[in-house]
Amino acid sequence: MNKNHNKHAQNNLHTHVISYCLTHSVCLFSCHKLQESLLSSNSGYSNYRGVLNWCVVMLVLSNARLVLENLIKYGVLVDPIQIISLFLKDPYSWPALCLIIVSNVFIMAALYIERKLSVGSISEGTGTFLHCINLAALLFVPAGTVLILTSITPVGGVLALSVFTILFLKLYSYRDVNKWCREIRHAKARTLSRSHSCPSVHKANGTTGYTHVIYPANLTHRDIYYFIFVPTLCYELNFPRSPRIRKRFLLRRLLEMVFLMQLILGLIQQVSPPLLPVLLQVPNHFIWLIFFYWYFHSSMNFVAELMQFGDREFYRDWWNSETIPYFWSNWNIPVHKWCLRHFYKPMLVKGVNKLGAQLAVFFLSAFFHEYLVSVPLKMFRLWAFLGMMAQIPLAYFVGRFLRGNYGNAAVWMSLIIGQPIAVLMYVHDYYVLHYESAAESTAA
């Protein structure tokens, strides 16, 4: 009886389902719907991690083939002693390191100028004049030292001038922010908040464990040296701080730094010397990509973690750049923030139009690129300067005629081709200047 009842109920349910489907035109067996293919631009799909991994694997394999051919043809060219000679001519003479140590004089000068200004011992005009002398000396004193001393190697000169250039940008920011603080104090503001010194950045978690500093209590040795060592170029009275030091994170970054630096030096020694035109090929670009990760991710995160510096935005998605300006404003965030805060916006306030301010930023960047290359090499060819200024018409062309993926491809082509050409020009000129002339004199 129960079996018959259950069977009758199932038949009734089946009848009702069929009736519902027929009434509402619904098919229970449908497996299709209106949708786009994943690779279509209208699909909204953006997770291409597998494709990215494939590109990385292909890049590694293609470079591995070139390295293997290089090893077979030229043998092992990696020499640790030669690496040391890049930094030192004489193991008992460390001129670049001594020059870096001297930089503390300029740091102290900036601090004591600000202390005098904070108590009114000197006028704003006098303080500005003293800061200008200090900042000018930061650029000219090390440059003159590198040009005069023959004991400084080109690599040592690059390291020393890089440190002084970073100090120049930092102390310029230090002077600006303290000046803004005095202006606020003179306007009878009760207290200073971080938004006064950098309104675009908000406090991060972990800052509550530190005392909130107001001007002029920030004018201490501890404060200025903390700013000197943290990976930023823009000064603030109260930086965002992380709550603790993550030891595992710190160790991972340290291991990355050591391994990648050895890899970069090994690739430079093994791939570059045998044949200079190889600089125009993939290995040069591969070395540049490794250097980006080593410096902007591993090294900067290591220092930030050690100093408990909370703002870790050292780069953005420059690899997705569809225009040249987007690349330059996203691949080096510390420099971009400095240019925007201390150079570009002040020029707009003074009445300069946007185009003029943008051209001035490119000109400043071109100057420092040439400064960091020509002075250590002790030859002035302006290839780096011209390469940077050439970005202006290239930016116009890409922005005007290329869009989307075509623009991104143009940016990548400029990176793959443009930078190696500039490197090759300097290598060629340096070789002609130092080695061919020496060979001719020897032959004579």
Q: Which residues are catalytic?
A: 369
> How far apart (Å, rounded) are the C-alpha atoms in residues 72 and 60?
18
Cβ(205)–Cβ(243) under 8 Å? yes
CB atoms inside a 10 Å sphere around CB 134: 20
Cβ(276)–Cβ(314) under 8 Å? no
350: tokens are 């003074």
Cα angle 260, 264, 270 (rounded to 5 degrees) comes to 140
> How far apart (Å, rounded) are the C-alpha atoms in residues 228 and 157?
20
Peptide bond into 216 cis (omega under 30): yes
Q: Is 172 exposed, middle or buried (0-12, 13-18, 19+ CB in 10 A)?
A: buried
> How far apart (Å, rounded) are the C-alpha atoms in residues 306 and 6?
73
CB atoms inside a 10 Å sphere around CB 358: 17
> How far apart (Å, rounded) are the C-alpha atoms in residues 263 and 25?
65
Residue reference for tokens 């990509």: 289
Residue 403: closest CA among 315, 317, 326: 326
Cβ(161)–Cβ(372) under 8 Å? yes
